[in-house]
Amino acid sequence: MSNISQTYISKSNKFAYFLLITVFLLSPIYLFASGGPQLVDAPILLAMIYILLTLYDHEIQLLSLILIAFSAFVSWAIGVNIYYYMDSYNPFYIKASLQLSYVMMLFLIFTILFFRILNKNVIPYMYTALLLAIITPLFIKGKTEAGFMARQALSFNNPNQIALYALSIMAITLVLNNYFTFLSRREKILSLFVYTVVFILGHYFIVLSASRGGLISLVLIDMIAIWKTKKKALFAILMPVIFVAFIFLPDRVISQYNLSEMRAVKRLVNADLSALLAKRTEGRFVFQDISIIFGRGKTNTTIGKKEVHNTLGDILYSYGVIGICLFSIFLVFYLKHCICVSYNILILLAFVPMNISHNLFRFRTIWILLALVYSIGLIRGNSYPPERDNSCIEADLQWDMEYHPNPGAPAVNKAVSLPKNWPAQRMGGNIVKHCLP
């Protein structure tokens, strides 16, 4: 490999690392109204431009099915929104269409980005990004202020956002810890430190938010983490110790505040879950004519002047049975490639309680998590090299630690068939590229 090629690859990777860290750093900072642009969109747009300018043919081929499925849903949704916009001239129909296009691009671009950089070299950058992501809300004051007795939103616009954000950062940490199985001593220390900080602050944020769905999802995340870790005994000892220590705390420590009067405590202790679910669904699924089939378009209000607080419910109401079917096809293609890593599927299922009472579609870190899981599924699922055709050439595939998706595995030299359009850095007759585990 020439020095020029090595320099280009190094600079390209470092730029991708910089974008990744910046996106995670700015994700929890909400300066403007929810549902609109935020500071984090600047590096996201830069990442989109960077990926589109450096897109390889095999990456397009790799994402072709999921792209077609997602595009079909988004195209239908935009068509429905335009139809209702022409009737009412409500600008929110256009805004909703732009949001759909944006999240689709966000998912596809970050899938490609993770697919390119998920190797041993990304470990310090990725964990640094997660560390910055989880501590930033502590130092940034958002537009909403709340006293100790109220629910907290920190740097976000409402408490449910901080809960969902904490869950997504914890989930990304679990996915990465499961992916990077072969680590050096220094890397193990870094991953353990970040894992600990993320989980401590994640629990803290969700308790502050007093989000019921967030707390149920948190319990599921904890169960998955405990089940996966090899040190189950440590958790089994620490959890009772912490619980007993809290129970027997001196009265003077707890009595500083009347905890029973805290709004967060009231929400959790006196909650009528069936009534709450009814409140979020009753009157919000009133269909007229054949709108159940085609949808009513996405506006800022539905029945009762409130949005449907459920992702799939919102899609059904806004884009009808046709819309929900098209989105289901996208989910089928998504799960087809992700199912090879069943642990990641369990992590995604932990978000179901949160999804029941909240619309997660516009939340950026959720789509970043989905992109990470999908890219790992593509790598681990032996999705390619593509089927052999007449354009293939015989080449030596040299396993290089820089590009190996399973860092730390022993190097192997193997003769394989690769297409001519496979992006590779050539060194004599060898090709150094992403390798399947």
pLDDT at 151: 60
Instruction: Indicate whether 230 pLDDT > 70.
Output: no
**Which whole number is the average pLDDT over 233-251?**
51
Task: Characterize the bridge pairing of strands 413-419 and 392-398.
Answer: antiparallel
Query: What's the rounded mean pLDDT across residues 310-318?
Result: 84
Answer yes or no: is pLDDT of 373 > 90.
yes
Residue with tokens 């470990």: 123
Distance (Å, rounded) from C-alpha 128 to C-alpha 38?
22
Share of the chain above pLDDT 90, in %: 30
Q: Is the pLDDT of residue 392 over 60?
A: no
pLDDT of 409 strictly over 90: no
Q: Exposed, middle or buried by CB within 10 Å (0-12, 13-18, 19+), for 143?
A: middle
Q: What is the mean pLDDT of the chain?
A: 74
205 dihedral zone (left: phi>0; alpha: psi -120 to 50; beta): alpha
Do 98 and 37 touch, CB atoms closer than 8 A? no
104-152 confidence digits (pLDDT tens): 999 999 999 999 888 778 889 999 999 999 999 888 775 555 544 446 6
What is the tens place of the pLDDT at every residue in 190-202? 988 999 899 988 9
- pLDDT at residue 326, rounded to an integer: 95
- The larger pLDDT score, comparing residue 420 to residue 291, is at 291
Q: Which residues pair with 416 in a beta bridge?
A: 395
Q: What is the band of 421 on the pLDDT scale with cuts at 50, 70, 90?
A: very low
Above 70 in pLDDT, residue 100?
Answer: yes
Q: Are 206 and 166 in contact (CB under 8 A)?
A: yes
Work out the average pLDDT over 284-309: 64
Q: Within a 10 A sphere around the Cβ of 274, how many other Cβ atoms?
A: 8
Identify the pLDDT of residue 335: 92
The encoded tokens of residue 38 equal 């935020």
| Top-confidence residue, 243 or 164 | 164
What pLDDT score was predicted for residue 139? 86
Rounded Cα distance, 409 and 267, in Å: 49
| Whole-number Å distance between alpha carbons of 221 and 205 | 14
pLDDT-wise least confident of 86-95, 202-211, 212-221, 226-235: 226-235
- The count of C-alpha atoms lying within 13 angstroms of the C-alpha of 295, restricted to the half-sphere facing its C-beta, is 29
Instruction: Retrieve residue 199's tokens.
Output: 């989980």
* Element holding 398 (H helix, E strand): strand 392-398
- Per residue in 76-90, pLDDT (tens digit) is 999 999 998 888 888
Predicted local confidence at residue 316, as pLDDT = 86
| pLDDT beyond 70 at 181 | yes
Percent of the chain with pLDDT over 70: 65
